Structure 1
Amino acid sequence: MIRHNLTDLSSVAAIGADTVIDVRAPSEFAQDHIEGAINLPVLSDAERAQVGTIYTQQSAFLARKIGAALVAANAARHLQGPLADKQGDWQPLIYCWRGGQRSGAFATILDQVGWRVHLIEGGYRSYRRQITAMLYDTDLPHRICVIDGGTGTAKTALLYHLQSAGAQVLDLEGLAAHRGSLFGGLAQQQPSQKMFESRLAAALAQLDPARITWVEGESSKIGARMIPPAIWAAMHAAPRIEVSAPLAARAAFLATEYADLTHDTETLMALIAQLRPYHAATVLEEWHALAHRGAWQELAAQLMQVHYDPRYKKSQARAAPAQQHITLRSLDAQTLGRTARDLIEGFR
């Protein structure tokens, strides 16, 4: 059995284990976990609560005795289930909350089977300290360049074209599972703040700090998730490329990009209603009417003209001047692909 101290997040990959196993309870795993880990709990949420109650109300010895029996039973299920096909050369990396009894007990069983077992010293808490150090306590070493622009200027799509052309990209909206505006919720639920940060840290660990990393301009929050301070500061200090396009092109792009909402009129109407604090009732009635008629491009154009563009202009008045302005007459794939290649060439 080999114990490892994490010096940074790349240490997890450097260990070279075949499978990362989180043995904490399902609710702990759902809140956050090492990116790519699987959950093989040695105690369920109910069992963990039961053992904790016995520990505080009866005795530590009885709690350990009952806990050991539960861990052994759950370990047997894992050996007969998810781990049944693992061969002798398989190497797992195991962790629990603080690298103590749960991971130690499971690791001992697997070690006795004959597998080369790795443990994270300090468990999840050690991992979380590395996340905090990277995203809260130190300056980001990566060379960031920000793609900015008003609503509907295809910034996310341009980011994908940059990635397809070989550039490094940090997709904040993809990692946050949200498109960044009131209408930006996706079908999947947003991750917790800690899970969002784990995804960010894992993505950053895969990027070369010496190369430019392209990021889409965002507000400080994406949906309900806050952009951590190190990334936010790097974005503010980074060169900014501002993209603009005619209103008609933007409206056509949004009508396609938000097809999930155009196919769910009830949800769209409810989202429009949330703009009531900002606009007169007559304006909202007009937008509801457009949604009811399926006039998606006209609705998108009005939302941008009346709601989003004024707010974007106000925010840009406080921002540093853009290093470069790009005007796109069309937002089709060919135009975005050509623009991505030009940007890569211009920022070598």
Structure 2
Amino acid sequence: MSTVDVKTITLNEVLFQDDLIIDVRSPAEFAEYHIPNAVNIPLFSNEERAKIGTVYKQKSQAEAIELGVSLYGPKLPILYQKVKSLKQKKGESRIVIYCWRGGMRSKTVAGTLGLVGIDCFQLVGGIRSFRKLTQDRLDAESKRERKYIVIAGHTGTRKTEILERLQGEGFPVLDLEGLAAHRGSIFGHIGLTPNSQKQFEYNLTKRLEELKDADTLIIEAESKRIGHIIIPEFILAGKENGIRIELDYPFWSRVEHIYKTYKPEKNEEAINEAITKMNKFLSYELKQELDKLIEEKEYRIVFARLLEYYYDPRYSHSSHTYQSDAIHLSFESIDEAVEKLKMMILRYL
């Protein structure tokens, strides 16, 4: 068998739970987005892939291929052992190899493994075919009519925590921040590893599929972006036209929640960097005060000042853009908020 005699498989034929799916792209490509349950056995490291790309652009395709072959050759024994070990654990499962678009990387690996007796399939279209499937599902969802219940409230009102509780009790919650792995504010990435746009959209389609029988979705009142993630237009439209429930939580309780969430004792440097990025939006007097408070490590007061002079005014301004009035819900504890919300929501489901 030569390396060109490679069997192929389409995405519709892949058994995502049963097949041994191997992603041969670089670790960075894999981290950004990959097929569920795939195992990353990279043909090239991040640095090697970048070097090959540079040679391709600055010199020629032929020289880039030569460099790729020279880098790939010494890795064959390790690649073989890794795939052999995985196959032994998976038993009789088929092996599906993919790269970016079903091109040279996956074909090379599948063909080489075939030569040494490991039967493989190359995924037609690579990860791009999986990406297209996600986009098609989002397009279909955008044409579906659903009602939305929108949970709103100032920064620190524990909206995400409340939504998680509701989801755990079986309510049709679409936790956008959870799907993005980002809390939404300029501090939102701290302590988390945010997802890429592609990974977010896959997570979104997966959750929407789980909620396929729900005529109403419960979401948080997000802006157009969560960090670097762009929210689909159909969700934003649902938010604008949805039933809005405004959570009212005591100011100092909000401060304490923010303090416990971001843990200044562990994340002081990241918090200070985020505040620095906000400087252009803050008055000179406030910046001076914050600098002094940070120096004294008075982070509860720091968060209080940011709520009072930055987040709360911005929220008040944005809340005036809604077409309808909100239903207000005041609470002192999470348990109280969840029980009150459940009673409200059940009127509309």
What TM-score comes out, normalization by structure 2 length? Answer: 0.79
Q: Distance in 1 between the 2:60 and 2:117 partners?
A: 37
Assess if the C-alpha contact under 8 Å between 2:330 and 2:337 holds in 1. no
Assess if the C-alpha contact under 8 Å between 2:16 and 2:37 holds in 1. no
Assess if the C-alpha contact under 8 Å between 1:148 and 1:242 holds in 2. yes
**Aligned partner of 2:105 among 98, 102, 107:** 102
Q: Distance in 2 between the 1:68 and 1:51 partners?
A: 14
Assess if the C-alpha contact under 8 Å between 2:8 and 2:124 holds in 1. no
Assess if the C-alpha contact under 8 Å between 1:245 and 1:327 holds in 2. yes
- Counterpart of 2:211 in structure 1 is 207
Assess if the C-alpha contact under 8 Å between 1:94 and 1:118 holds in 2. yes
**Aligned partner of 1:164 among 159, 164, 168:** 168
Q: Check if 1:148 corresponds to 2:152.
A: yes
Q: Check if 1:313 corresponds to 2:316.
A: yes
What's the CA shift string for 1:209-247, capped at 9, x where partnerless?
535432221111112222233433333343322212232
Deviation at 1:23, TM superposition (A): 1.6
Deviation at 1:310, TM superposition (A): 1.4
What SS does the aligned partner of 2:149 have? strand
Q: How many residue pairs end up in the alignment? A: 339
Change (3 A) 1:290 1:27: closer
Q: Distance in 2 between the 1:279 and 1:142 partners?
A: 41
**Aligned partner of 1:303 among 306, 314, 321:** 306
Change (3 A) 1:343 1:107: farther
Q: Distance in 2 between the 1:248 and 1:214 partners?
A: 27
What's the CA shift string for 1:53-101, capped at 9, x where partnerless?
58996785x9778866865754542331254153331233332222233
- Counterpart of 1:222 in structure 2 is 226
What TM-score comes out, normalization by structure 1 length? Answer: 0.79
Assess if the C-alpha contact under 8 Å between 2:43 and 2:105 holds in 1. yes
One-letter amino acid of the counterpart of residue 4, structure 1: T
One-letter amino acid of the counterpart of residue 121, structure 1: V
Deviation at 1:154, TM superposition (A): 0.9
Assess if the C-alpha contact under 8 Å between 2:264 and 2:299 holds in 1. no
Q: Check if 1:17 corresponds to 2:23.
A: no
Change (3 A) 1:50 1:116: closer
The percentage of aligned residue pairs carrying the same residue is: 32
Deviation at 1:295, TM superposition (A): 4.4
Change (3 A) 1:120 1:169: farther
What's the CA shift string for 1:97-153, capped at 9, x where partnerless?
222333234334556777775543211222222333344686164744321111111
One-letter amino acid of the counterpart of residue 21, structure 1: I
**Aligned partner of 1:327 among 327, 330, 337:** 330
Q: Distance in 2 between the 1:272 and 1:103 partners?
A: 44
Comparing 275-284 and 217-226, the one that deviates more: 275-284
Q: Distance in 2 between the 1:18 and 1:296 partners?
A: 50
- Counterpart of 1:78 in structure 2 is 79
- Counterpart of 1:128 in structure 2 is 131
Comparing 72-81 and 237-246, the one that deviates more: 72-81
Q: Distance in 1 between the 2:205 and 2:131 partners?
A: 10
Q: Distance in 1 between the 2:278 and 2:54 partners?
A: 47
One-letter amino acid of the counterpart of residue 284, structure 2: A
What's the CA shift string for 1:290-327, capped at 9, x where partnerless?
44445444443332222111111111111132563322
- Counterpart of 1:287 in structure 2 is 290
- Counterpart of 1:40 in structure 2 is 41
Assess if the C-alpha contact under 8 Å between 2:25 and 2:42 holds in 1. yes
Deviation at 1:155, TM superposition (A): 0.5
Change (3 A) 1:306 1:173: same
Assess if the C-alpha contact under 8 Å between 2:248 and 2:329 holds in 1. yes
Please, which runs of 5 or more residues in structure 2 have no aligned partner?
1-6
- Counterpart of 2:255 in structure 1 is 251
- Counterpart of 1:90 in structure 2 is 93
Q: Check if 1:174 corresponds to 2:178.
A: yes
Q: Distance in 2 between the 1:92 and 1:213 partners?
A: 38
What's the CA shift string for 1:223-277, capped at 9, x where partnerless?
222223343333334332221223233223223223x235544544443344433
Q: Distance in 2 between the 1:130 and 1:114 partners?
A: 32
Deviation at 1:22, TM superposition (A): 1.4
Change (3 A) 1:40 1:210: same
